[in-house]
């Protein structure tokens, strides 16, 4: 059974009178441990698709199944439980909790899921080069360092699926490369599947698969 | 999961201790002021309960002798004739320098005896039978014990403070008055067909049950005033809580979203946020109760003095932590926090996981809020207006005040926004324009603190105007009313006559003060008889009068009544007043009589004596040249062995009355100042909490070339300007409040109306204070801005997302 199955997925945003279809008929399958890059023009609906897969938002038609569980059948609490246990999220904005230290941010999701493994957390911190900053607060870190914390937090609970939306969009090229390198390495080690939204064709080329979103469909 | 999530929520406070401090302090202040008032009220009420026993005695009719004492034979005669009466011997004993009223009673017949029955702990013992036992309240008992009398003292909470009860035999010994009684209590059940009083005991007068209820009604309205003030302070405190809780939610919006995205269900998040709030509320509430206790302890002596002096209710307030007001305080803290946090919690419940620019913009819509506030404010004012136009009564008065204050508070932000918009339009130069517009944009964050300031200022102006008006009137009234240089009280009628005769040739005039306690229309009233004298004609303060008023009083063709009577009975000059069966006089004048809860009538003395031949003749006002007062007083004391308190000179009476008056409002004044302090604190906390949002606004201007000192000065100026505008709006509000207090609430509660005097000097002081408070509150943030290193300002740009 594939990790992620998307069938005939459709989503439209309604603002006032206006209905704007974003995803028309998306089909997609992702196996466990597989890495996938999604590209597409700005406004094509990449983030929207990622949010739907991450059970962060509801859809209009079709179905998403994560490890066999259909998302349409889950209520708010069920979706939250699914996110906590099975999904790691990394966004363009780093989304760290400003009042928690680096170490606390790193462990946050794993602790909430009741799966904090001190050895793994220590290893993560070390491999992401964060050991020195463990007791600092996010605003005392550079952008690249902050994004490394976010990646660590997303992988700390060893989720089967990592969702990343332009994780390096805010970083310069060299930093961006190094952060991505680390992320791919860790994804590989944990055996997580990766669903990465990116603008970079070069980066997309390095993943197992590369899909392009255009006019609400996967091309 | 819950633990981690709660810890994450709490981590915010560790990083922002100032916010935490503000929140807890706001809660503590709100709860504290409220609790203080509750504590004072509860303690005062408890004291009345203790005084019940004494009041109960006052509710029975009494038989008294004209000369003050009743021989025991007369009592025996009455009993033999079938009258059911219980003897009482009353006098004063000194214990450790303090006078204690000793009531000697007959344990078998006295209505007081049931309060003294043996309790479980002393089963079998009947202390009264021991004949060496005094019964007293806790404080009095302690005093008697410490005097080392060798008497057994049993504590009974029911005994009024300052009073001890004993078997009448023991009282005779202690007072050294064997064979005499002070008065007889007429028991409620009397046999039919007993002979009339005149036939059995011609020397005795019957006094009907006294108006103890009026005293209680008055004290209740005093409580009402205090409670209203307490609620007002609580509301002011809540503004702080509302501000900080709102900000804490606003600032943690990102954290909440992250937690939700990671997988914390919305409901769970809400529950955890609620638990956090309640824990903080309990903490703040507990601190507030401690604070309230301290405030109450500081104010209680003045409250006690106020009640004792103004209403004659015996209160002996000792402050105890009572579960009742602790629970009420904590309840208010929890309720207030929930109320203040309702909006934040509601938003949290509906917080979308995904931040979209559109959703953010929608929640911040400012214009809608202002419009809503304006409409709600106008509705509130409309309600207040229609209530006062359509309804009478104390409740209507308070609804009016509440509606007025709420409406004005709600109208404040739209009014300020309007003024600022006008300022922006008139401003010249880009910086000034920016300053006006920016201040307007800041308004939502500051409006709660400014509302608190508005209420505090209005309360200050309102209550201040009331107190000052009261004082002005009261002083003037005392000057008019207390004209006689010396007031003498004799111990018996015979002595009274002797004093009268002795004084007559030595002074300008002796004016008897004689009155009969009676009932008019079933209500207790006092009828005073006066002799015709220019003292009254020239000085007596009349509010309304018919032509030739004094001539008509002197010839017994008319009566004067006090304002309370006129208002409660709806009487005016010209109306007929039935004074006793077969005795009617037209009302010819109404005089002001502040501080007196009872109905009062003045008629010619001869007319009074005709109807009430037995009225006591013990009190006199003496007109004499001021320089002779002292020698005359000394002469009186020597000649008649009068105690010091029986010969009082006018200056002392005035000083005493004014002192009592000042005490009355000291409590109000203290709470007022505290409220203003709280409002100043609210501004400070709002500014401090807005600080984090302030830097991103100011950094671009700094980058454009405005220096930090200039920016800091502008911040200071902004705060002062807002406080100034708020003060301008508080002025009419405060005066309306004063009007409501003087013309509505006072009339309903006390029965007299006070003229309103304006004291612009006080307003200037208050305005200056408000500006000072605002400047002080803004000083710390401004100083921080002044000292902000450029690197921190630059971070604003680095963080731009
Ligand atoms: N909450 C929303 N309400 C209404 N419309 C939305 C909302 N979120 C996104 N859209 C619209 O949906 C479309 C797809 O947006 P989405 O963010 O998925 O694009 P994207 O492919 O991630 O773009 P980018 O590469 O710029 O991040 C856009 O036209 C956007 O305006
Ligand atoms: Mg996107």
- Find residues 243-282 of chain B whose CB sits inside 8 Å of chain A: 254-255, 257-268
Q: Which of A15, A100, A109 sits opposite B262 (nearest CB)?
A: A109
Phi, psi of B585 (to 5 degrees): -135, 150
Ligand 1 centroid distance, CA of A20 (Å): 10
The b/e string for A143-179 (b: 16+ C-beta within 10 A; e otherwise) is: bbbbbbbbbbbbbbbebbbbbbbbbbebbeeebbeeb
Q: Where are the beta strands (DSSP E) in B333-392?
A: none
Q: Which of B1, B261, B268 sits opposite A95 (nearest CB)?
A: B261
pLDDT, tens digit, for every residue of B144-178?
Answer: 888 887 788 888 776 766 778 888 888 888 888 88
Q: Does A144 touch chain B (CB under 8 A)?
A: no
CA distance B791 to B801: 18
Interchain proximity B264–A80, CB inside 8 Å = yes
Q: Which uninterrupted H or E stretch holds B218?
A: helix B212-251
Q: Which of A9, A15, A44, A198 to mutate to test the pocket of ligand 1 (most atoms within 8 A of CB)?
A: A44
Q: Give B452: exposed, middle or buried? Use CB within 10 Å, 0-12, 13-18, 19+.
A: buried
pLDDT, tens digit, for every residue of A93-144?
Answer: 767 888 899 999 999 999 988 888 999 999 999 999 999 999 999 888 888 8
The residue ranking higher by pLDDT, B4 or B240, is: B4
Q: Is the pLDDT of residue B189 over 90?
A: no
CA distance B715 to B731: 25
Specify the DSSP class assigned to residue B209. P
Q: Is the pLDDT of residue B235 over 60?
A: yes
Least confident residue range of A184-198, B130-144, B224-238, B576-590: B224-238
pLDDT, tens digit, for every residue of B410-462?
Answer: 899 999 988 888 888 888 877 788 888 888 877 877 887 788 888 888 877 88
**Is A216 touching ligand 1 by the criterion CB < 6 Å?**
no
For ligand 1, atom 16, the nearest C-alpha belongs to A45
Query: Which is nearest to B750 in space by CA: B601, B587, B598?
Result: B598
Q: What is the pLDDT of residue A168?
A: 83
Helix (H/G/I), strand (E/B), else coil: A39 = strand
Q: Is the pLDDT of residue B41 over 80?
A: no
Q: Give B399: exposed, middle or buried? Use CB within 10 Å, 0-12, 13-18, 19+.
A: middle
Closest residue in A to B13 (Cα–Cα): A99
Q: Please state the separation of Cα A133 from the chain's center in Å.
A: 24
Q: Which of A51, A80, A153 sits opposite B265 (nearest CB)?
A: A80
Q: What is the pLDDT of residue B208?
A: 56
Categorize the per-residue pLDDT at B44 as very low, low, confident or very high, splitting at 50, 70 and 90.
Answer: low
Give every CB contact of residue A6 below 8 A, 6+ residues apart in sequence. A26, A27, A28, A29, A53, A62, A63, A64, A65
Specify the DSSP class assigned to residue B529. E
Q: What is the pLDDT of residue B310?
A: 45
Query: Which is nearest to B224 in space by CA: B46, B51, B41, B388?
Result: B41
Q: Which uninterrupted H or E stretch holds B87?
A: strand B85-95
**Is A73 touching ligand 1 by the criterion CB < 6 Å?**
no
Residue B692, number of CB atoms within 10 A of its CB: 12
- Which of ligand 1's atoms lies nearest the C-alpha of A46? 21
- How close does chain A come to B279, measured CA to CA in Å? 20
Mean pLDDT of B478-488: 76
Mean pLDDT of B178-203: 81
**Residue carrying structure tokens 């028991």:** B187
Contact A191, A18 (CB under 8 A): no
Interchain proximity A108–B265, CB inside 8 Å = no
Structure tokens at B286: 């507990």
Whole-angstrom CA distances from B216 to A162, B274, B439, B523 are 75, 43, 51, 15
- How close does chain B come to A81, measured CA to CA in Å? 6
The b/e string for B596-616 (b: 16+ C-beta within 10 A; e otherwise) is: bbbbbbbbbbebbeebbeebb
Q: Is the pLDDT of residue B761 over 90?
A: no
Beta pairing, strands B559-562 & B583-591: parallel
Residues of B in contact with A95 (CB under 8 A): 254, 257-258, 261
**Is A43 touching ligand 1 by the criterion CB < 6 Å?**
yes
SS (H, E, C) B384-429: HHHHHHHCCCHHHHHHHHHHHHHHHHHHHHHHHHHHHHHHHHHCCC
Structure tokens at B249: 């939610």
Closest residue in A to B11 (Cα–Cα): A99
Specify the DSSP class assigned to residue B208. P
Query: Which is nearest to A193 in space by CA: A86, A39, A62?
Result: A86
Question: Residues, chain A, total?
Answer: 219
CA distance B361 to A187: 37
Query: Which is nearest to B552 in space by CA: B569, B570, B577?
Result: B577
Q: What angle do helix axes B394-426 and B212-251 make, rounded to 10 degrees?
A: 30
Q: Does A120 touch chain B (CB under 8 A)?
A: no
Contact B340, B694 (CB under 8 A): no
Give every CB contact of residue A37 below 8 A, 6+ residues apart in sequence. A196, A197, A198, A203, A204, A205, A207, A209, A210, A211
Categorize the per-residue pLDDT at B218 as very low, low, confident or very high, splitting at 50, 70 and 90.
Answer: very low
CA distance B786 to B422: 29
Specify the DSSP class assigned to residue B299. H
pLDDT, tens digit, for every residue of B77-105?
Answer: 888 888 888 898 888 788 877 778 788 88
Instruction: Please spell the DSSP secondary structure of B175-202, one letter per residue.
Output: HT-TTEESEEEE-S---TTPPPHHHH-T
- Tell me how many degrees the CA angle B480-B484-B488 measures, rounded to the nearest 5: 135
Query: Which is nearest to B671 in space by CA: B37, B122, B82?
Result: B37
- Tell me how many degrees the CA angle B745-B747-B749 measures, rounded to the nearest 5: 65
Kindly tell me the sign of the dihedral angle through the C-alpha atoms of A143, A149, A154, A158: positive
Contact B601, B561 (CB under 8 A): yes
Mean pLDDT of A35-42: 93
Ligand 1 centroid distance, CA of A47 (Å): 7
Structure tokens at B703: 């980058």
**Is A44 touching ligand 1 by the criterion CB < 6 Å?**
yes
Q: In what order do the strands lie in the sheet with A209-214?
A: A87-90, A161-165, A193-197, A35-40, A209-214, A217-218
- Tell me how many degrees the CA angle B558-B562-B566 measures, rounded to the nearest 5: 85
Structure tokens at B685: 């906390």
Kindly tell me the sign of the dihedral angle through the C-alpha atoms of B213, B216, B222, B225: negative
Beta pairing, strands B183-186 & B85-95: antiparallel
Beta pairing, strands B583-591 & B576-580: antiparallel
Whole-angstrom CA distances from B687 to B413, B435, B779 are 16, 16, 10
Domains of chain B, residue spans: 61-208, 486-624
Query: Which is nearest to B800 in space by CA: B655, B699, B710?
Result: B699
Residue A140, number of CB atoms within 10 A of its CB: 12
Interchain proximity B8–A108, CB inside 8 Å = yes
Q: Does A142 touch chain B (CB under 8 A)?
A: no
Q: Give B268: exposed, middle or buried? Use CB within 10 Å, 0-12, 13-18, 19+.
A: middle
Phi, psi of A87 (to 5 degrees): -125, 135
CA distance A167 to B495: 105
Q: Which uninterrupted H or E stretch holds B344?
A: helix B323-349
Query: Which is nearest to A198 in space by CA: A16, A30, A44?
Result: A44
- Enumerate domains of chain A plus CATH numbers: 2-218 (3.40.50.300)
Categorize the per-residue pLDDT at B799 as very low, low, confident or very high, splitting at 50, 70 and 90.
Answer: very low
Q: What is the pLDDT of residue A117?
A: 92
pLDDT, tens digit, for every residue of B566-625?
Answer: 888 888 999 998 888 888 899 999 988 765 667 889 999 998 888 888 788 888 888 888
Interchain proximity B263–A84, CB inside 8 Å = yes
Q: Please state the separation of Cα B243 from the chain's center in Å.
A: 29
- Find residues 349-388 of chain B whose CB sits inside 8 Å of chain A: 353-354, 358
Q: Which of A21, A38, A43 to mutate to test the pocket of ligand 1 (most atoms within 8 A of CB)?
A: A43
Q: Please state the separation of Cα B712 from the chain's center in Å.
A: 43
Q: Within 13 Å of residue B579, how many CA atoms lie on the same side as its CB?
A: 28
Least confident residue range of A7-11, B219-223, B505-509: B219-223
Specify the DSSP class assigned to residue B740. I
Mean pLDDT of A195-212: 90
Task: Please tell me the pTM assigned to this model.
Answer: 0.62
Q: Does A20 touch chain B (CB under 8 A)?
A: no
pLDDT, tens digit, for every residue of A44-83?
Answer: 999 999 999 998 888 999 999 999 999 999 988 898 899 9
Q: Within 13 Å of residue B613, how many CA atoms lie on the same side as its CB?
A: 4
- Find residues 54-73 of chain A whose CB sits inside 8 Å of chain B: 54, 56-57
**Is A11 touching ligand 1 by the criterion CB < 6 Å?**
no
**Residue carrying structure tokens 């202690």:** B174
């Amino acid at each position: 059974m594939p990790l992620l199955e998307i069938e005939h997925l459709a989503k439209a945003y309604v603002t006032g009178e206006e209905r704007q279809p974003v995803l028309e008929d998306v089909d997609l399958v992702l196996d466990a441990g597989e890495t996938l890059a999604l590209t597409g023009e700005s406004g094509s609906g990449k983030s929207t698709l990622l949010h739907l897969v991450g059970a962060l938002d509801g859809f209009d038609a079709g179905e998403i199944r994560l490890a066999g569980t259909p998302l349409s059948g889950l209520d708010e609490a069920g979706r939250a439980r699914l996110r906590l246990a099975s999904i790691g999220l990394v966004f363009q904005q780093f989304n760290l909790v400003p009042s928690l230290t680096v170490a606390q941010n790193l462990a946050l999701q794993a602790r909430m899921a009741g799966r904090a493994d001190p050895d793994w957390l220590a290893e993560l911190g070390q491999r992401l080069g964060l050991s020195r900053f463990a007791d600092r607060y996010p605003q005392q870190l550079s952008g690249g360092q902050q994004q490394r914390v976010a990646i660590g937090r997303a992988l700390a609970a060893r989720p089967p699926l990592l969702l990343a939306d332009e994780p390096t969009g805010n970083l310069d090229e060299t930093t961006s490369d190094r952060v991505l390198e680390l992320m791919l390495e860790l994804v590989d080690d944990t055996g997580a599947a990766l669903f990465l939204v990116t603008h970079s064709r070069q980066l997309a080329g390095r993943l197992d698969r590369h899909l392009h979103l255009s006019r609400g469909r996967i091309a | 999961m819950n633990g981690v999530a709660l810890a994450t929520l709490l981590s915010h406070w560790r990083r922002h201790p100032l916010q935490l401090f503000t929140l807890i302090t706001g809660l503590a202040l709100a709860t504290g002021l409220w609790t203080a008032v509750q504590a004072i009220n509860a303690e005062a009420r408890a004291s009345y309960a203790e005084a019940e026993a004494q009041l109960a005695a006052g509710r029975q009719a009494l038989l008294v002798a004209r000369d003050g004492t009743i021989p025991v034979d007369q009592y025996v005669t009455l009993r033999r004739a079938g009258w059911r009466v219980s003897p009482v011997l009353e006098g004063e004993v000194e214990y450790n320098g303090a006078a204690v009223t000793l009531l000697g009673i007959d344990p078998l017949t006295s209505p007081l005896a049931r309060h003294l029955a043996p309790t479980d702990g002393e089963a079998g013992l009947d202390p009264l039978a021991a004949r060496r036992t005094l019964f007293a309240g806790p404080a009095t008992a302690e005093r008697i014990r410490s005097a080392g009398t060798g008497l057994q003292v049993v504590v009974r909470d029911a005994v009024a403070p300052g009073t001890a009860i004993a078997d009448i035999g023991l009282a005779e010994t202690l007072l050294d008055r064997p064979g005499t009684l002070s008065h007889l209590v007429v028991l409620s059940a009397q046999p039919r067909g007993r002979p009339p009083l005149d036939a059995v005991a011609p020397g005795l007068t019957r006094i009907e049950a006294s108006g103890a209820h009026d005293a209680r009604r008055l004290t209740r309205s005093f409580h009402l005033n205090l409670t209203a003030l307490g609620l007002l302070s609580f509301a002011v405190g809540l503004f702080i809580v509302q501000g900080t809780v709102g900000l804490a939610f606003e600032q943690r919006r990102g954290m909440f979203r992250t937690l939700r995205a990671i997988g914390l269900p919305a409901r769970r998040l809400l529950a955890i946020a609620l638990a956090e709030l309640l824990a903080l509320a309990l903490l703040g509430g507990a601190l507030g109760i401690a604070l309230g206790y301290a405030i109450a302890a500081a104010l209680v002596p003045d409250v006690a003095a106020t009640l004792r002096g103004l209403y004659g209710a015996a209160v002996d307030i000792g402050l105890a932590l009572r579960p009742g007001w602790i629970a009420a305080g904590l309840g208010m803290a929890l309720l207030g926090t929930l109320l203040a946090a309702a909006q934040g919690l509601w938003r949290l419940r509906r917080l979308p996981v995904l931040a979209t620019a559109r959703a953010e913009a929608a929640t911040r819509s400012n214009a809608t809020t202002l419009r809503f506030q304006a409409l709600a404010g106008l509705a509130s004012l409309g309600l207040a207006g229609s209530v006062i136009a359509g309804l009478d009564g104390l409740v209507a008065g308070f609804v009016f005040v509440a509606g007025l204050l709420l409406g004005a508070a709600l109208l404040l932000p739209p009014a300020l926004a309007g003024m600022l918009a006008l300022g922006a339009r008139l401003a010249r130069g880009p910086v000034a324009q920016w300053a006006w517009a920016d201040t307007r944009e800041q308004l939502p964050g500051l409006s709660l603190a400014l509302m608190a300031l508005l209420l505090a200022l209005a309360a200050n102006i309102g209550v201040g105007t009331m107190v000052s008006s009261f004082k002005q009137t009261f002083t003037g009234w005392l000057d008019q009313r207390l004209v006689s240089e010396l007031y003498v009280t004799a111990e018996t009628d015979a002595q009274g006559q002797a004093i009268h005769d002795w004084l007559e040739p030595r002074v300008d005039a002796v004016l008897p003060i004689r009155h009969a306690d009676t009932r008019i229309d079933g209500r207790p009233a006092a009828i005073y008889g006066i002799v015709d004298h220019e003292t009254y004609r020239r000085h007596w303060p009349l509010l309304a009068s018919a032509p030739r008023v004094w001539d008509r009083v002197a010839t017994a063709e008319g009566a004067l009544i006090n304002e309370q009577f006129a208002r409660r009975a709806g009487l005016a000059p010209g109306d007929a007043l039935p004074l006793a069966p077969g005795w009617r006089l037209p009302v010819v004048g109404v005089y002001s009589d502040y501080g007196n809860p009872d109905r009062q009538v003045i008629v010619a003395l001869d007319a009074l004596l005709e109807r009430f031949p037995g009225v006591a003749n013990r009190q006199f006002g003496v007109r004499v040249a001021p320089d002779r007062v002292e020698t005359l007083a000394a002469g009186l004391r020597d000649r008649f062995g009068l105690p010091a308190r029986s010969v009082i000179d006018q200056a002392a009476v005035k000083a005493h009355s004014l002192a009592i008056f000042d005490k009355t409002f000291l409590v109000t004044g203290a709470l007022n100042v505290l409220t203003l302090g709280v409002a100043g604190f609210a501004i400070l906390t709002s500014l401090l909490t807005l600080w984090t949002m302030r830097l991103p606004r100011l950094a671009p201007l700094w980058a454009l070339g405005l220096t930090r000192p200039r920016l800091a000065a502008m911040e200071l100026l902004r705060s002062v300007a807002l406080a100034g505008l708020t003060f301008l709006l508080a002025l009419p509000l405060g005066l309306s409040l004063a009007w409501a207090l003087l013309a509505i609430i006072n009339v309903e509660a006390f029965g007299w109306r006070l003229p309103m005097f304006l004291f612009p000097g006080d307003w200037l002081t208050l305005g200056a204070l408000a500006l000072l408070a605002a400047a002080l509150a803004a000083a710390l943030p401004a100083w921080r801005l002044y000292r902000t290193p450029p690197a921190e300002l630059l971070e604003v740009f680095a963080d731009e997302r």
